[in-house]
Amino acid sequence: MRHARRRIVRRVARLAAVGGLLLGVTMVTRAVASEPPGPSAAPHTLARTSSGAGADLVARLGTDRTAGHWVGPDGRPVVAVTDERAAEAVRRAGAEVKTVRHSMSELRSAASTLRSAPRVPGTAWALDYRSNRVVVRGDRTVSGSDWSRLTGVAERIGGFVRMERAEGEFTTRLNGAEPILSTAGRCSAGFNVTDGTSDFILTAGHCGPTGSVWFGDGQGERQVGKTVAGSFPGDDFSLVRYAGGKAGDGADVVAVGAGKGVRITGAGEPAVGQRVFRSGSTSGLRDGRVTALDATVNYPEGTVTGLIETDVCAEPGDSGGPMFSEGIALGVTSGGSGDCDKGGTTFFQPLTEAMESLGVRLIVSGQGAGREGAAQGAAPSSPASGGAAPGAAAPGAPAPVTGADGSTLLARLTDRRNIGPGLLVVAGSLVALVATRWMRAEQDRKAYRRHYSATWG
């Protein structure tokens, strides 16, 4: 009876080992056949597809029949319309409808009237699609008389202009992903771009005028490059040409702190309600939502228009830092109010507008800096001055792409998208097979000895 149980145990063990061997081979085959896991990206949302669908509907129906679009809590596009025919067209396209009183044309006309009024530093306004209003904010530096005068302008426009007082002060965030320094202060390397001949850092325009020289250290020993073009106020972007002419390795990666990075695959337009991420050298990686578009901010240095308004926090030193979502580059940090303890409002220069104005494009992902291809990438800056070794750390250089939790040996072996788990199963099955064979051989030897011992008497 005991021998029968042993035989059953051995047979079950052999069957399990053979089954495990077949499973492991299948896992390895599938892992090899599938695309390897890419670098880490921002947490996934449905914002890009929703943004595109909403934008297409607004463009097709026109600004007199729509009043913007945004991403709903469920990730679906929501389009504001002013009549039932437009509403029916939106429903047929599979988007949600919100019927509003004022069209996009009216909202833009109101913003234009505000821009033509006497300029008041410390004020800002933006088109709030979800409330169908133009929201005007004034920070603590705006005097009572100036606020009263601007309120009078808003009242003459109509009841869809809302006045709000904001905490803090609207300032440019001078002093991002990785720091770059000049005599003007400290700023961030935003995204790497190219004109096909030279590579550049695209960062905020208020960081420094044309001719500013940027370094990667406080001693001025590692020159990053020089500002060769820009626009501020009015817009808020500038180009820093690399001292060595090329961005170097990893030009399509944005550093997000702690030795981690996110690969950028292209540029796009944001949508209200979209979840976005911002990286900066002062406050690190932060996230939030797009709250409004086409914002105007009256900084002390001048007025900037066409900005992206968000509830992502930022602090001095984050200027020029990259804003992105799902690996898509959206803008560079301009300014705002508040901080990352109490929260606040932060504005971003749209990236596509800046690149079009400057005649540059994002450096291609996976193709090397300065080469054009089907995919595009962007990153904080890479090795700067001429003698930097490939992959060497430099001001604005992207961190290694290691994923959200790093890329340890154990993580790679246990990642189902790699061949590691399959190899572990194969190895364990082979060990089990060898063990069952050894058990059988050992038992046979013992039985042989018992037999002949009895025979010899």
Question: Which positions are catalytic?
Answer: 206, 236, 319
Using the structure block, give the residue that is written with the tokens 């933006």: 126
For residue 299, which of 170, 435, 447, 152 has the smallest C-alpha distance? 170
294: helix, coil or strand?
A: strand
Q: Which helix (H) or strand (E) holds 76?
A: none
* CA terminus-to-terminus distance, the chain: 26
Q: Running DSSP on this structure, what letter comes out for residue 330?
A: E
Nearest of 358, 309, 353, 311 to residue 334 by alpha carbon:
309
Q: Is 320 exposed, middle or buried (0-12, 13-18, 19+ CB in 10 A)?
A: buried
16: burial class by Cβ within 10 Å (0-12, 13-18, 19+)?
middle
Strand residues in 210-352 grouped as ranges (E): 213-215, 223-231, 237-242, 253-257, 260-263, 266-267, 275-280, 284-299, 302-310, 322-325, 328-339, 343-350
Interatomic CA distance for residues 11 and 316, integer angstroms? 70
149 Cβ contact partners less than 8 Å away, ≥ 6 residues apart = 117, 118, 120
CB 112 within 8 A of CB 157: no
Q: How far is CA 123 from the centre of its chain?
A: 28
State how far the Cα of 300 lies from the Cα of 297, in Å rounded to an integer.
10
Give the closest residue to 381 by CA, choosing from 222, 232, 229: 222
Regarding beta strands 266-267 and 328-339, do their DSSP bridges make them parallel or antiparallel, or are they unpaired? parallel
Name the 3-class secondary structure at 292: strand
In angstroms, rounded to a whole number, what is the distance separating the alpha carbons of residues 227 and 35? 40
Scan for tokens 């370094």, then name that residue. Answer: 215
- How far is 338 from 344, CA to CA, in rounded Å? 4
